[in-house]
Chains A and B, each alone.
Chain A
Amino acid sequence: MGNSVALRDRLRARLGSRKTQGVALAVLIIMIILLPLFANNYIEEVATNTLFYIVLALGLNIVVGYAGLVDLGYAAFFAVGAYTTGIFMKFGVNFWLTIPIAVLFSVIAGIIIGGPTLRLRSDYLAIVTLGFGEITRITARNLKITGGASGLVGIQRPSIFGHILNQITDFYYLFFILVVLAVIVAMRLHNSRLGRAWQYIREDEDAAEAMGIDPVLTKLYAYMIGAAFGGIAGAFFAVKMTAISPETFAFTQSAMILLAVILGGMGKIPGAILGAAFLVLFPEIFRGIGQTRMLFFGILLVIIMVFRPQGLWPERKG
């Protein structure tokens, strides 16, 4: 027992050193950049999907991990972003110009959802966000402008410097850039004044309020920023898929993204990345067992929570 603890400490010291981390990161990035040279279309597709979920998980991590708020309706923001881009592109707006609009709309959605509900108890918040997620989906299904139940089809591919992005490799790199940006923003936020305020509120809301932090406003910022991440991811999702339908944004979608954040360990950036990667790769690897994989997912979630309530890679305290 004593030996294993010592081993663990040594391992931690070795892994924890900046140099090792830097080298590992560099190797990882080079591998990711070179992947399309070796991989076939299927692997690239799965990898692109993984990158996409990483962006979503990093966004939700701000809400759930940093600020400690439950959100069971994150797919709503993702939906707002995707539909905004889809609809504006139908009217002939350039894809790159729709991104700020998508962000604006999803942030507004974040304010609408967060504004009245963030005063509530945490478990009420779970149900309200779930309700909003469902409202968004039902609204998309019932409105004409969103294409009803069949959704929007034939969304155009974007182009950059005259090069039309229509290959899977294009989207692979596009999402990779998005992930890098998302990681930088998430890291900067975590270490910012706002990030510390979130952490404080998460640990002790009353004490934070006594120190002059406005809890509702600070939580609302978490919602708005999380929504912006979802909106951007949604906009890119729309042009990658070229078709979106309301059922893409069902509750299972929200639950999966939340699962990624929780699995990895709330509040930790590598945790969110790991969780998202696991989330996409698990069903792909276990494709053979078909429908049963979601059953195992549920059981796994319970097991992880029972044995590691803080997640697989929790934020170290101290």
Chain B
Amino acid sequence: MMNFLRKKKQYLWLFLYLLATLGSFAFGFDPGKEVFGNFTQFFIEMVTFIPFLFIIVGLFDVWFPKEQVEKHIGQESGIKGILIVIVLAMLQAGPLYGAFPVAYILYKKGASIKNIFIYLGAFSSLKIPMLGMEIGYLGIQFTLARTLVSLPLFIAVGYFMEWYLKDKDFKINKM
């Protein structure tokens, strides 16, 4: 029910905006026309690549299911273990707080403290759909630069957390 209302509200925004735009054109209200000019440009920009991005993301999802990667968590250590958590994070979607339950699963499966925090770092900045959006909107150079700088930093955060929490009885609570 709440969901339904939220959906409705979103349509209401769009409807009000279109109404205001129609009004602006009918009465020659220039600011309204200018805003519509901006909007059209953004809208075209969006429809020219986002549907295609989601085709790629959808195909990725069926060919590289996260469950497959999840199986290997906790068994591998060293570089391989780090790579596995990063790949797993890249296959996810959604906001960071959606990663906490997964962090709990990783913890239960015996992943190291370091890898749990590397997972959170990779989750927040290397998810494939988000990288696609980033390339589309900010360009491949920006995306590459940000990714290449971020990667060593959140791996460092992982190592720091492990060093700091090593004998501190670290645990993740189940919700």
A and B from one complex: no
